[in-house]
């Protein structure tokens, strides 16, 4: 049986590691990206050289029209999406009074609406086949909040609520929905922090280090496997004990 995965925000960081892991698990993988075309093509070339079947597609997940076109392209090349990994996200550090309408629309558009857009496109084929798997990437900030990251935290809290609700809604159709909340992960998103802050975050993590993209990819590997066939509606924190 063909297994087709779509990973949003797959060109860098966590998404890149997830795409590699899913290829290793036998999935045909669409690498979605928006801005980082060079990185996406580089990853695509690497995976092709390793003998995996992958494609790239540029789409802004906050734009429902672009998302619909992406799903049609994946369906034509690889068949219906059986595994959707909603990883695309952007951060925003600002005090609440400094948030602009543009910042609010952009962060909520990508981090929350973007996941809704992709799920709306994925679900009809999944319902038709009575099977499907959706993995949403949220954040520990969506669970505990974060000073000066209220907008990002609110979006990620929305993802957690979305995941839990859809797990109940879609389970009768054979579709599983789970959510992963990464802790402090060493990716490009960490570039806003200076070295002292990075060291403090590592020190605040009981396991004594920042997480790696591969740590999150391994959680995705579990949720995408038959070993989790009876697991849905779960919110898995992968944070080295940071959130307590």
Any idea which residues carry the catalytic annotation? 152
Give the residue among 28, 21, 92, 22 at the shortest CA–CA distance from 57. 28
SS3 of 236, please? strand
Rounded distance between C-alpha atoms, residue 221 and residue 140, angstroms: 19
Rounded distance between C-alpha atoms, residue 76 and residue 153, angstroms: 36
Question: Which structure tokens are listed for 104?
Answer: 């609010």
Task: State the DSSP string of 169-225.
Answer: HHGGGTEEEEEEEE-SB-SGGGGGS-HHHHHHHHHHSTTSS-B-HHHHHHHHHHHTS
Cβ neighbours of 47 (radius 10 Å): 18
Rounded distance between C-alpha atoms, residue 133 and residue 221, angstroms: 12
Q: CB of 135 within 8 A of CB of 115? A: no
């Amino acid at each position: 049986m063909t297994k087709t995965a779509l990973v949003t925000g797959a060109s860098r960081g966590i998404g890149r590691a997830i795409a590699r892991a899913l290829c290793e698990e036998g999935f045909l993988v669409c690498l979605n990206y928006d801005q980082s075309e060079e990185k996406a093509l580089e990853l695509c070339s690497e995976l092709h050289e390793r003998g995996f079947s992958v494609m790239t597609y540029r789409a802004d997940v906050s734009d429902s029209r672009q998302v619909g076109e992406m799903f049609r392209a994946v369906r034509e090349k690889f068949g219906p999406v059986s595994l959707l990994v909603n990883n695309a996200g952007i951060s925003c550090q600002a005090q609440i009074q400094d948030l602009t309408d543009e910042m609010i629309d952009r962060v909520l558009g990508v981090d929350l609406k973007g996941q809704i857009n992709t799920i709306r496109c994925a679900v009809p084929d999944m319902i038709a086949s009575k099977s499907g798997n959706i993995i949403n990437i949220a954040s520990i900030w969506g669970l505990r909040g974060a000073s000066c990251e209220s907008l990002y935290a609110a979006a990620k809290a929305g993802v957690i609520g979305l995941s839990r609700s859809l797990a109940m809604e879609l389970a009768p159709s054979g579709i599983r929905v789970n959510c992963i909340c990464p802790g402090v992960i060493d990716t490009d998103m960490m570039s806003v922090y200076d070295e002292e802050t990075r060291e403090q975050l590592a020190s605040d993590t009981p396991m004594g280090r920042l997480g790696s993209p591969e740590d999150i990819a391994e959680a995705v590997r579990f949720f995408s496997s038959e070993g989790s066939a009876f697991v849905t509606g779960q919110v898995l924190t992968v944070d080295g004990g940071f959130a307590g």
